[in-house]
């Protein structure tokens, strides 16, 4: 018995999810499977998800870049936040060091463009901006 070694359990490379679909959508999927476009329902759903993710690759990349922590000093100017607002984007500040929100940034502009602030170090901003963002500062 001492020669028997237990192999480590294989970590799955995917995860099972459950979704609810309407009967019409399910029927349309089944029709495509029946016609040979997909091998089964799961194949159709995986393909649809991959296609959707591929179509959103730029948004995902930008989001990942915005969520990366920055090291050192990071300034957020009025022009930076106005550009984000005009692009319809929300900023998630993650800084290790010093994050500075310039004094000419209004509380309204900060609220409209900053979704969250995580600073390991110090945050410098006007008291009005800090008060407006109090529930977003972690």
Name which residue leads in pLDDT, 4 or 22: 22
pLDDT digits (tens, 9 = 90+) for 46-104: 999 999 999 998 888 777 666 678 889 999 999 999 999 999 999 999 999 999 999 99
Pairwise pLDDT comparison (16 vs 136), residue with the higher score? 136
Domain ranges of the chain: 23-55, 60-136
* Confidence (pLDDT) at 16: 85
Cα separation, 136 vs 117, whole angstroms:
6
Entry pTM: 0.56
User: Environment class of residue 133 by beta-carbon count within 10 Å: exposed (0-12), middle (13-18) or buried (19+)?
Assistant: buried
Q: DSSP code of 12?
A: P
Question: Rounded to the nearest 10 degrees, what angle do helices 23-34 and 41-55 cross at?
Answer: 100
Q: What is the pLDDT of residue 37?
A: 97
Percent of the chain at pLDDT above 90?
74
Q: Choose among 93, 97, 95: nearest CA to 116.
A: 93
Rounded Cα distance between 108 and 114, Å, is 10
pLDDT of residue 63: 75
Q: What is the pLDDT of residue 59?
A: 84
Closest CA to 125 of 109, 96, 101: 101
């Amino acid at each position: 018995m001492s020669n028997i070694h237990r192999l480590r359990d294989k970590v799955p490379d995917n995860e099972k999810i459950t979704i609810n679909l309407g009967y019409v959508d399910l029927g349309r999927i089944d029709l495509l499977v029946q016609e040979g476009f997909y091998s089964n329902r799961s194949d159709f759903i995986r393909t649809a998800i991959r296609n959707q993710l591929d179509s959103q690759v730029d948004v995902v990349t930008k989001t990942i870049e915005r969520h990366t922590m920055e090291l050192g000093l990071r300034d957020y100017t009025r022009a930076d936040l106005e550009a984000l607002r005009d692009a319809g984007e929300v900023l998630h500040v993650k800084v290790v060091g010093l994050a500075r929100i310039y004094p000419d940034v209004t509380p309204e502009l900060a609220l409209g463009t900053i979704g969250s602030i995580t600073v390991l170090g110090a945050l410098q901003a006007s008291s009005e901006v800090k008060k407006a963002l109090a529930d977003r500062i972690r």
